[in-house]
Structure 1
Amino acid sequence: MNNKKTPAMPRTPQSIDRQIRVFISSTFRDMKAERDYLIKFTFPQLGRLCESRGVTWGEVDLRWGVTDEEAAEGKVLPICLEEIKRCRPYFIGLLGERYGWVPQHIPDDLIAQQPWLEQHRHRSVTELEIIHGVLRNAEMHQHACFYFR
């Protein structure tokens, strides 16, 4: 038996996983019709287009992903911020008539991880998503898309 290791193949652009993940930010009740349209019609088309080009498509719509238990335990904001980070640089903001839910308390450990939150207490989760996802990073501006109703 030969104990020599086979040299690793160099990674080419074709062998690297290509993925697009888009974070959808809005108040849940206010923009339900718009979110539903994106999920039912727009995103499937984008998914097929990406697939035809060897790119994996995914959207993050947290109206399906945050449980009541997580909301009660104050985990909504950390989950949102982490998902935005994972989706960078792609962000869609849907803004209508509602301001959104304002957390009564931001955990100290989250502020330690995200010091910018200290100066943005008493803001809605939607506003914090937009600040974190787009406004704090100029490189994000060209990849963000906003819909205003």
Structure 2
Amino acid sequence: MSSLSSKTSGKRMSGQRASSFQLKSGDKLIKDAKPKQKFKTKGAALVVSEKDKNYRSNVKKEKPKYSQDATRKFNVMLHGDLKDLPPLPKTMVKIFLSSTFSDMRAERNTLVREAYPHLRDYCASVGLDFQVVDMRWGVTEDSINDHSVEKLCLLEVANCQKTSVGPNFVVLSGDRYGFRPIPVELNVKTFERLRYEAAKLNLENRQLLEEWYKLDENAVPNMYMLQPIRSKYTFFADFSPGCEEPRIKDTADWWNTFEALQNILRKSADSAFNDGKMTAEEKHQYFLSVTECEIQDGILKALDVDKHCLVYKRRFKILSDASLQLKDIPRFIDVIKTDKVVIYCTELT
């Protein structure tokens, strides 16, 4: 009894246990089984071995690649320059309607009544908005006062070109050239040249140049700026009650001043051109109409004009001498009056 217990206790002490299942050295339970990767853990954090650390440090993360042009535009935008922003998705047909006003009044009104509703419905059927920019309704008194009508028109032309998915510029052309403004800005060299030519020609009212054009030293480069109309004619375009009489007077005085300034600038520019001090293109800026400026930006300087621009030319079939004497004919045809003759300009383009 004592000998049996001592044998059993001896086996337990040595940790040996008899078993009927024996594995030989080198045998595997699962064929081609790979041992699991062993990681040492400390708490809930994974402890990576030094070998893994070295491997990961040698693998460089590939930096994302960006378009150099897009990066440049983004950096410029961060500095406050918003001129070269990428185009937005186009979801509308937006058309700038260009024409002289008084002679195309009936055509413009007919488009509003009969054409635009159909175009708006068609665009809506294909998921697009339809808009027309008609500057008869977009010119405010303030824009007339500070001479910004031409700039506003050209900004609208550019806006239509950027946002319209289809046509963006339509011209109704007749026999009138349109309103011709005087320059709003003149660089210092040009202004001094014009002032010199006006003095050389001894032009009447040439002092108006210095009265209406003032040097803006805050502009870079410095520019001579045409002053607002109300800086001298307070009641111009003032429709407040009780201002009718001074408004009529100031309005008439301004247009007389405008014609005098226009005459001085044109004669001075023509003299500078004849002396070889001004190019033909620079001279033309003093004879240019707003309508021509719109056509230059909307068609002549534009891309893919066949896809985006339309021109409708109106021609009168019969113009007799009797019809040219009608009092309303200057509404439709440019008329040049002199002391001896009246010239009807019927082939302006």
User: TM-score by structure 1 length?
Assistant: 0.77
CA distance in 2 between counterparts of 1:120 and 1:148 reads 24
CA drift of 1:30 comes to 1.1
Note the alpha carbon deviations across 1:80-119, whole angstroms, 9 max, x for none: 011001111510001112111001114359xx9xxxx957
After superposition, residues 19-58 of structure 1 pair within 5 angstroms as: 19-58=92-131
Local SS of the residue matching 1:82: helix
Who wins on radius of gyration, i.e. which is larger? Answer: 2
Whether 2:145 is the aligned partner of 1:145: answer no
- Residues 96 and 148 in structure 1, CA contact (< 8 A), matched pair in contact too: yes
Q: Once the 2 structures are TM-superposed, how far is the Cα of residue 49 of structure 1 from its aligned partner?
A: 0.3
In structure 1, stretches of 5+ residues that fail to align are 1-15
Q: Does 1:84 align with 2:157?
A: yes
Q: Is the 8 A contact 1:120 1:128 kept in 2?
A: no
Moved more, 62-71 or 138-147: 138-147
Can you give the 5+ residue segments of structure 2 that lack an aligned partner in the other structure?
1-88, 162-166, 188-220, 222-280, 315-349
Q: Indicate the residue corresponding to 2:251 in structure 1.
A: none
Q: CA deviation at 1:145?
A: 0.7
Q: RMSD of aligned C-alpha atoms? A: 2.2
Q: Which of 180, 189, 193 pairs up with 1:102?
A: 180
SS at 1:133 equivalent = helix
- Call closer, same or farther: CA 1:57–1:90 in 2, change over 3 Å: same
- Cα deviation for residue 140 of structure 1 reads 2.4
Quickly say closer, same or farther: Cα 1:52–1:125, change in 2 above 3 A. same
**Hey, what's the Cα distance between the residues in 1 that align with 2:284 and 2:135?**
21
Q: Any conservation in 2 of the 1:24–1:60 contact (CA below 8 Å)? A: yes
CA gap of 1:106–1:141, structure 2 versus 1, over 3 A, is farther
Equivalenced residues, count: 128
Q: How many angstroms apart in 1 are the aligned matches of 2:127 and 2:284? A: 40
Deviation (angstroms), 1:147? 1.1
Aligned partner of 1:139: which letter? D
User: C-alpha displacement at 1:136, in angstroms?
Assistant: 1.1
Where do 4+ consecutive residues of structure 1 move more than 6 Å? none
**Does structure 1 residue 69 correspond to structure 2 residue 147?**
no
1:56: Cα distance to partner? 0.6
1:100 aligned counterpart, secondary structure: coil
Matches within 5 A, 1:107-126: 107-108=185-186, 120-121=284-285, 122-126=287-291
- Could you say if the C-alpha distance between residues 119 and 59 of structure 1 is closer, same or farther in structure 2, counting changes exceeding 3 Å? farther
Residues in 2 aligned to 1:105 and 1:49: alpha-carbon distance in whole angstroms: 41
Hey, what does 2:300 align to over in structure 1?
135
| Distance of aligned partners of 1:118 and 1:58 in 2 relative to their CA distance in 1, 3 Å threshold | farther
Aligned-partner residue type, residue 178 of structure 2: G
Q: Percent identity?
A: 38
Give the match's secondary structure for 1:123: coil
Q: Quick one: distance in 1 between partners of 2:121 and 2:282?
A: 41
Tell me the TM-score normalised to structure 2 length: 0.34
Counterpart residue identity of residue 295, structure 2: I
* Distance verdict in 2 for CA 1:54–1:27, change over 3 Å: same
CA contact (8 A) 1:31 1:94 kept: yes
For residues 68 and 98 of structure 1, the distance between their equivalents in structure 2, rounded to whole angstroms, comes to 24
Partner of 1:3: none
How far apart are 1:120 and its partner, in Å?
4.9
